[in-house]
C-alpha cells in the first residue's frame, strides 16, 4: 500500500542522490557513432542498420547528469515533438550543465504512416517491445537500440506521450515504482518537479530488466528514473499542449540543475494510486456520458453501448470513486475492450 509519507520520508536521501549523480559533461559525449564535444550542440539523423532516429545532443559546458527526453514512441502524439524542437533551438550549450539527449521521434515509420501507436513495418507497439532484440522485427530493433545506446548512456528519462487520435485525456505524468526505495523516491521527486498537476503512481510493470516491456520501465529496471508524460490529445498540435510539454522539459532540467534559472512555483500535485479501466461487455457503439476531469462515484453511469441497430445493450457504471483521466472517442467497441481510464486518488 502506498502512502504519501513513504515518499516524503525519503526526501533527504533523494537530495543526496541528486548531488551524487555521476558527472559526464567533462568530456566529449558519443551517441550512435557521433561525438559531440563539451560546449557543443549537434542535430543529426542517427543511423544503425535499418533504424533512423532524429536526435539532438547538447553537451553543456558544466558538469551535470545526462537527461534523455523522447517524443514519438507513438508516431501520432505530436505536442512533445514540437516542444522538443523548440527546446533544442532555444538552448545554448555554453550556458548549460550536463548532457541533454533529445530523441525527437522514436517511431519514424509510425509518424509517416499516420498510425495510432503502431509501427506499420510490423504492426507492433514500440512501448511494449522492450528491451528489444537486435535480430528481431523492426520495432524490436528500435527497442534494443534505445535500451543500449540511449538509456544505457542516460541518467534520467522522460518518455513524452499524448492521447492518440482516438482519445481525450487529462494531462498527467506516470511516476513508476519498482521496490527500490531510493530510486522510487527520486523518481517521485522528479515527477513532482515536472510541474504536472496529476501524478499517477505506477507499479504494475515487471521488475526484471530482461522483460522490461515499456521504455520507462527499461530505465527503471536499470536503476534510472523514467517518467511517462501524457500531454495533449486527439492527435492535435495545439499551442497550449506544446507549451505545457516545453514547460515539463525545462522544469526537468531545472530540477537537475542543468539550467541556471529557478523553476516557477508549481500547483500542488494530486496523486493517484491506481487507474481503473472499465470495460464493455457488449459489442457495438460506445458513447461516454462523462468527460475528462469529471469526478465520478462508484456505480455512477459513465457511458452506454448500443448495438448495430441503435438499441441500448449496456449502461456502463464506474467501478470506483475517481477522476476521469482518459476517454475513448471512437464509437467502435468490442466485448472486453476498455472504454476509459479513471484515476483513484491516493488514500491518506
Cα 118 to Cα 52: distance, rounded to the nearest angstrom: 17
- Which H or E run contains 321? none
Residue 57, beta-bridge partner list: 42, 101
Cα 187 to Cα 347: distance, rounded to the nearest angstrom: 20
CB neighbour class for 267 (10 Å; exposed up to 12, middle 13-18, buried from 19): exposed
Span from 12-20, 153-161, 231-239, 251-259 in contact with Zn ion (CB under 5 A)? 153-161
Residue 332, beta-bridge partner list: 285
Q: Which is nearer to Zn ion, 64 or 72 (CB)?
A: 72
Span from 132-140, 160-168, 175-183, 243-251 in contact with Zn ion (CB under 5 A)? 160-168
Q: Which is nearer to Zn ion, 39 or 120 (CB)?
A: 120
Q: What is the DSSP string of 95-132?
A: G-EEEEEEES-S-HHHHHTT-SSEETTTTEEGGGSBT-
Q: Which of 115, 161, 198, 224 binds Zn ion (CB under 5 A)?
A: 161
CB of 183 to Zn ion, least distance (A): 23
* Contacts (CB under 5 A) with Zn ion, residues 19-78: 74, 77
* Contacts (CB under 5 A) with Zn ion, residues 227-246: none
CB of 125 to Zn ion, least distance (A): 9
Q: Which is nearer to Zn ion, 159 or 314 (CB)?
A: 159
CB of 161 to Zn ion, least distance (A): 3
Q: Which of 207, 211, 203 is nearest to 221 (CA)?
A: 207
224 is an interface residue for Zn ion by CB under 5 A: no
CB of 305 to Zn ion, least distance (A): 25
Q: Which is nearer to Zn ion, 215 or 255 (CB)?
A: 215
- Which H or E run contains 288? strand 284-288
Cα 87 to Cα 250: distance, rounded to the nearest angstrom: 8
Q: Which is nearer to Zn ion, 77 or 155 (CB)?
A: 77
CB of 157 to Zn ion, least distance (A): 15
For residue 292, give the 3-state DSSP assignment.
coil
Q: Which is nearer to Zn ion, 77 or 149 (CB)?
A: 77
Residues near Zn ion (CB under 5 A): 74, 77, 161
Amino acid at each position: 500500500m502506498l502512502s504519501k509519507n513513504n515518499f516524503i520520508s525519503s526526501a533527504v536521501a533523494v537530495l543526496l542522490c541528486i548531488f551524487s549523480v555521476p558527472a559526464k559533461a567533462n568530456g566529449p559525449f558519443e551517441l550512435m557513432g557521433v561525438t559531440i564535444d563539451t560546449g557543443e550542440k549537434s542535430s543529426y539523423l542517427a543511423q544503425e542498420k535499418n533504424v533512423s532516429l532524429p536526435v539532438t545532443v547538447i553537451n553543456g559546458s558544466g558538469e551535470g547528469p545526462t537527461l534523455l527526453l523522447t517524443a514519438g514512441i507513438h508516431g501520432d502524439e505530436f505536442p512533445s515533438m514540437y516542444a522538443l524542437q523548440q527546446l533544442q533551438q532555444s538552448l545554448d550549450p555554453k550556458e548549460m550543465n550536463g548532457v541533454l539527449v533529445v530523441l525527437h521521434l522514436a517511431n519514424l515509420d509510425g509518424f509517416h504512416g499516420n498510425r495510432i501507436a503502431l509501427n506499420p513495418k510490423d504492426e507492433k507497439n514500440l512501448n511494449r517491445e522492450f528491451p528489444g532484440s537486435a535480430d528481431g522485427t523492426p520495432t524490436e530493433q528500435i527497442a534494443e537500440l534505445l535500451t543500449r545506446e540511449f538509456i544505457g548512456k542516460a541518467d534520467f528519462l522522460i518518455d513524452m506521450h499524448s492521447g492518440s487520435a482516438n482519445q481525450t485525456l487529462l494531462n498527467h505524468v506516470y511516476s513508476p515504482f519498482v521496490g527500490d526505495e531510493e530510486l522510487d523516491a527520486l523518481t517521485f521527486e522528479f515527477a513532482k518537479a515536472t510541474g504536472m498537476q496529476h501524478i499517477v503512481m505506477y507499479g504494475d510493470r515487471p521488475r526484471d530488466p530482461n522483460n522490461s516491456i515499456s521504455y520507462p520501465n527499461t530505465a527503471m529496471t536499470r536503476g534510472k528514473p523514467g517518467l511517462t508524460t501524457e500531454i495533449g490529445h486527439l492527435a492535435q498540435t495545439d499551442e497550449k499542449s506544446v507549451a505545457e510539454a516545453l514547460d515539463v522539459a525545462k522544469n526537468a532540467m531545472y530540477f537537475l540543475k542543468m539550467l541556471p534559472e529557478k523553476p516557477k512555483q508549481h500547483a500542488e500535485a494530486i496523486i493517484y494510486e491506481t487507474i481503473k479501466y472499465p470495460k464493455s461487455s457488449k459489442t457495438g457503439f460506445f458513447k461516454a456520458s462523462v468527460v475528462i476531469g469529471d469526478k465520478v462515484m462508484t456505480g455512477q453511469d459513465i457511458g452506454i453501448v448500443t448495438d448495430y441497430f441503435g438499441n441500448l445493450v449496456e449502461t456502463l457504471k464506474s467501478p470506483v470513486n475517481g477522476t476521469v483521466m482518459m476517454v475513448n472517442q471512437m464509437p467502435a467497441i468490442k466485448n472486453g475492450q476498455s472504454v476509459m481510464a479513471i484515476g483513484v486518488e491516493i488514500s491518506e
